[in-house]
Structure 1
Amino acid sequence: MTTGEPLERDTDYMVPALQRGLSILQMFGARQRSLGMTEIAERLGVSVSALYRIVHTLCEMGYLRKFGKNNYELGPQVVSDGFSYLTSRDLVDIGLPHLNALRDRTSLSCHLSIREQTDSLYLYRAFAAQRLSVNIPIGTRIPCHCTAMGRMLLTGLSEAELDSLYQHVRLDDYPPPAPKTLPELRQLIAGDRERGWVLHRSDYSTAIACVIRNHLGAVVAAINLSGPEAVMDNSGARDSYREALQQCARDISRELGAPSVD
C-alpha cells in the first residue's frame, strides 16, 4: 500500500441505528436498572427525537419495557435470550464428550437438537468419518414432525400444548412418513412418549432418537444415532444401538441434574 492511500476503516461498515440500539441495552445493569429517555439521549449525545424509533423498536421486540411516563428498563426478551443461550451452551458442553464417545463406540453419526417452535434446531454433531455417514450441519432446522429427534422433542409437550403449537400449521405438504393431520400427529407423539424412543427411516438412512431431561425432569433436547439403512437394517444391531443411545441420554441428563431417568 502506498503512503497517503486512504485506509478502509472497519467503522465504514457500522450501522448507526443498530450501534445505538445495542449501546442503549448496554447502559442497563445491576447498578442502573431504569433510565429515562432524556438520560439515554444525553449519554449517547443525540436528541430524544433521534432515539424515539430505536427505543420504540426495542420495546416492541421485548428488549425494553416502558413504565411510568417516559422511563425504561430491560424487557423479558433479554432474559429469555440469555437463558436460551446459556442452556444451549450447557447442553453442548455437557453432551459433547458423551456424543463423541458414542460415535466412537458405534461408528455412527450422533446429533443433538433443541426445539424452537415447530423446528428441531441442530446444536451439535459428532460426525462418523466413514462412507455413507449421515452428516447434518450445526444450525440446520428441520420441522419436528419429520424427524426422530423432532418427534421426541414434541413428547415434552402436553396434548393441549401440542394442539396450540400446531393449530395453524399445515402438515400435508410433507412427504411420508410425516403425519398429514393434527390428530395423526397427536396419536403419533402419544405413542412416541409411551415408547420413549423413535426410529425413523428416510431415503437410504435410519435414525434412532431419545430425549434429554433437565433438573426438573423436563424435555430440553434430543439426541440421535443415525446411519445408512444397510448398517441399521439388522434388528439385533438396532437394539444394541438403541440401548447405547438411551444410556448416553441418561448420562447427559444425569449431568444436567435430572432427578431420575428412565
Structure 2
Amino acid sequence: MTTIETPERDTDYRVPALERGLTILGMFTARERSLGMNDMAERLGVSPSAVYRIVQTLVEMGYLQKAGRNAFELGARVISNGFAYLASRDIVEVAMPFLNDLRDRTSLSCHLSIREQTDSLYLYRAFAPQRLTVNIPVGTRLPCHSTALGRVLLTALDEIELSQLYQHVRLDDYPPPAPRTLPELQQLIAQDRERGWVLHRSDYSTAIATGIRNHSGAVVAAINLSGPDAVMDGPDAQATFLQALGQAQALISAQLGAPSLV
C-alpha cells in the first residue's frame, strides 16, 4: 500500500486552543456581530463542548461578551490594549478626509488624538497653511488634563476610573487653566462630559475639541480645531467653528458605526 506523504508543517509549537480562540474572534464581522456557540463550533468543525471553555475564557478576559441567552459579540477589549494600534489606524484612515475638508472650510488646523494612559497621543494633523496657526506634530504626547483634546478623551471614563487613573499623578506642576487637584479634575471632566465639547486657551491660541464615538457610543478619539485667539475669539466665531467641528465629528463617528444622537 502506497502512503501519500503530505508536506511537513511546523506543528510542534502550535497551541490549538489559542489558534481556535483567535479563529473565533476572526469570525465576527460588521455583518455578523453576534454568533452562537453552535455557530462557532460548526465553523471550527468541532463539537460545542470543545469550544465552551475557550469562549468562556474570552468572555472572562473581555474579548467576548454575552449578547443573549446563547449568543456572543466582540467585547470592548478587542479595540483596546494589544489591538489599540490597529484601531488607531482605522480611525486615522476614516477621519483623514473629513479633517482635511474641515481645515479647508475653516482655514484652521485640525488634529486627531487618542488616549494612552494620562497622555493624549496625536495621530493626525490637517495643516493650515497660514502665517499664524497651531500645528502639533504627529506622535506628540501631551497631558490629557491640560489640553482640549485630552479632556474630551477623559470624558470616556467614569468618576471611579478617572480617580484610579490619576491617583498617583501630580497635577500641580502644570500652569492654569489646567486643574491642580483630582477633585478639580473630576469636576471639570464631569462638566465637559455633559457639554460634549471643550474649549481651551493657552499661549495666545484657542482650541475647540469634541469626541469621536464608535459603534457602542463610546468616545474612542478626539478631534479639534485650533488657531490664534484673534481668529477664535468671539461668540459668533466660536459658534461657527463649533458647528463645523460637530458636523465633522458626526460624519466620522457615523463611519465608525456610532448610533445617531438625533
Instruction: State the TM-score, normalized to the length of structure 1.
Output: 0.70
1:252 aligns with 2:234: no
Asked if the contact 1:253–1:261 (Cα under 8 Å) also holds between the matched residues in 2, the reply is no
In structure 1, the partner of 2:172 is 172
SS in 1 for 2:251: helix
CA distance in 1, matches of 2:235, 2:161: 34
The structure with the larger Rg is 1
In structure 2, the partner of 1:234 is 234
- Runs of 4 or more, structure 1, over 3 Å off, are 76-82
SS in 1 for 2:186: helix
Shift of 1:83: 1.6
CA distance in 1, matches of 2:174, 2:205: 18
Unaligned runs of 5+ in 1: 1-26, 36-75
Letter in 2 for 1:85: Y
Q: Deviations over 1:122-181 (max 9, x none)?
A: 000001000111010000000000000100000000000000000110000000000000
Shift of 1:234: 2.2
Shift of 1:81: 5.5
SS in 2 for 1:225: strand
Asked if the contact 1:114–1:123 (Cα under 8 Å) also holds between the matched residues in 2, the reply is yes
The count of residues paired between Structure 1 and Structure 2 equals 196
Letter in 1 for 2:161: E
Shift of 1:235: 1.6
CA distance in 2, matches of 1:260, 1:78: 23
In structure 2, the partner of 1:33 is 15
Match runs of 1:39-118 below 5 Å = 82-118=82-118
In structure 2, the partner of 1:221 is 221
SS in 2 for 1:201: strand
RMSD: 2.5
SS in 1 for 2:183: helix
Letter in 2 for 1:152: V
Shift of 1:84: 1.1
Quickly say closer, same or farther: Cα 1:93–1:28, change in 2 above 3 A: farther
CA distance in 1, matches of 2:110, 2:222: 11
Shift of 1:79: 9.2
Give the share of equivalent positions with the same residue, in percent.
70
